[in-house]
Structure 1
Amino acid sequence: MSLKIKKKFNAFNETLATKAKKIIEEEMPQKIFTLNDFLKTGDLFNVQDLSIFHQPIVPKPDSTFNPNKKRKLDEETESKTESKPVVYTDHTESCHPHLFKCIDFLKNEIEEVVSLCNTVKIYIQLNIPKIEDGNNFGVSIQEEVVKELSSAEDSAFAVLDSISKYYMQRAKLVTKVMKYPHVKDYQLCIWELDEKEYTWLRLTAIDIRNNYAMLYDMIQKNYDRIEKPRQENAHAALY
């Protein structure tokens, strides 16, 4: 490695270390307190009456299309009914407005979780010393913390995947309501789905707070080993 490249890399490493230390010492505990207060006093995740999610979905056919119109695919095949486009009332264009606010809030939080965890993780990984025989207890602590940070990232990405699945599942049910408006079970199923989604979103927000608390606690208890993984005659416990 040339001297010029080494200097640039060292500068990058120092900048990253400064940012990671600020996250560990200031931003991470502040996120714990902010989310905790928000979950206790905020209106978003403190809905007591889940019946607010029981808004009826009223399909309104587009008059420019005839649902009974048939077209001939070819001379030897049967006729096929054309799809029936439908527009909705304003409150059914997406999920329930309150749920949409919850999802939007969590998506922003997830983006921040991933960013913070990734910064701290790469800082610790770059602080892992070269491989040597013996005195690797501190290195094992670093690796364990990196593992927990990666797990928090994976959990955050899994939330985004679950949100997409919720929209897809709800869209299928809305389609059923459009096709069979007289079958009330589909409407009830959508209400149940929205209630379940709200409960899951609230638990997810709690999990994000808990992950911050767990990571902060683990890092603080092992900070000396994370900073200096190889110490002479040190016998620190992992937790």
Structure 2
Amino acid sequence: MFAQLKDASAQATVEALEASLGDKVMALDGRVGALQATSLADAEKTYTKGATAAAVNAELCELQTYARGEAAACVLDLRKIERFITLHVPKVEDGNNFGVAIQLEVAKLVKETGKECKGLLDALPAYHKDRAALLEKVVARTTTETSEATSSSTDEEKGTEAKTTAKSGKSSSSTTKTSSAKPLPDAVAAVAQLDVQHRFALIFLLEVVRDAYIAVGDCLEKNKGKLVAPKGEGGNAMSMF
């Protein structure tokens, strides 16, 4: 069973990942470069214009979806590499553990890199919660009040026999009120600056993902022989290298 998992991990993870690394890194690097072409000061000017609208920042929502997808894929890729290394660790025995030490060092690098990506990924949902709290202080409030009233009346008919008829009815009305007080400049600035901060955080996350692929890919390329066969092809315990 574990031998099959070992063979599958080598083919389905490391080989496939190594083949796609170039395209992954180039795509991420291109997106990061395009985003960095707009300074944070210019982004703030743009975001300030929409800071009082009761709507999401469409640009950041699109960017977050992209960055979240790339970060999640990276975390899963790194987990597969961890599994690949774990399955190639040989049985414990005396001597010739130089290759095993390399395996453990690479596994540590992969695990710490994945942990950094996962931490940044987990922090993303807080942006919408924080932005909603700030928008409550700058967006005009609209409320609707509904009132209901009951009325009754009595009609009396004159004639040979007096008759009294009671009538009753209900009526309702609603009033819509909009609060349009001018928002405080600091409140508007807080929304815009939160957007700017989140934009930078997303760019930074993409850089972390790109650099994770570069670092791990370079480490795999340099040490793949030891990762696959840490004690050599023959596993000679008498050899130190």
Question: What is the TM-score when the length of structure 2 is the normalising length?
Answer: 0.72
Distance 2:210 2:38 in 1: 19
Distance 1:128 1:170 in 2: 47
Partner in structure 1 of residue 167 of structure 2: none
My pick for the range that moved more, 217-226 or 23-32, is 23-32
Distance 1:55 1:123 in 2: 50
Q: Within 5 Å, which residues of 2 pair with 1:1-239?
A: 8-40=1-33, 42=34, 44=35, 46-48=37-39, 49-50=42-43, 51-58=45-52, 89=53, 92-94=54-56, 96-178=57-139, 181-231=182-232, 233=239, 235=241
Cα-to-partner distance string for 1:33-85 (whole Å, 9 max, x where unaligned): 22223333x4x554342122123444xxxxxxxxxxxxxxxxxxxxxxxxxxx
My pick for the range that moved more, 154-163 or 98-107, is 154-163
Bigger radius of gyration: 2
- In the alignment, structure 1 segments of 5+ residues that lack a partner are 1-7, 59-88
Inter-CA distance 193–102: structure 2 relative to 1 (3 Å threshold): same
Report how far residue 234 of structure 1 moved: 5.1
Residue identity in the other structure for 1:190: V
Residue identity in the other structure for 1:54: T
Report how far residue 167 of structure 1 moved: 2.0
Inter-CA distance 234–55: structure 2 relative to 1 (3 Å threshold): farther
Report how far residue 177 of structure 1 moved: 2.5
Residue identity in the other structure for 1:177: V
Higher strand share: 2
Inter-CA distance 212–34: structure 2 relative to 1 (3 Å threshold): same
Report how far residue 22 of structure 1 moved: 1.9
Cα RMSD (Å) of the superposition? Answer: 2.2
Distance 1:145 1:175 in 2: 48
Distance 2:188 2:9 in 1: 52
Distance 1:98 1:47 in 2: 13
- In the alignment, structure 2 segments of 5+ residues that lack a partner are 142-180
My pick for the range that moved more, 191-200 or 121-130, is 191-200
Cα-to-partner distance string for 1:135-165 (whole Å, 9 max, x where unaligned): 2121111111111211222122212222122
Distance 2:30 2:186 in 1: 38
Distance 1:116 1:39 in 2: 20
Inter-CA distance 57–35: structure 2 relative to 1 (3 Å threshold): closer
- Identity, in percent, stands at 23
Distance 1:25 1:119 in 2: 12
Cα-to-partner distance string for 1:111-141 (whole Å, 9 max, x where unaligned): 2102211111101101001111222121111
Residue identity in the other structure for 1:173: L
Q: How many residue pairs are counted as aligned between the two chains?
A: 193
CA contact (8 A) 1:56 1:187 kept: no
Greater RCO structure (CA 8 Å; 6+ sep): 2
Distance 2:3 2:82 in 1: 17
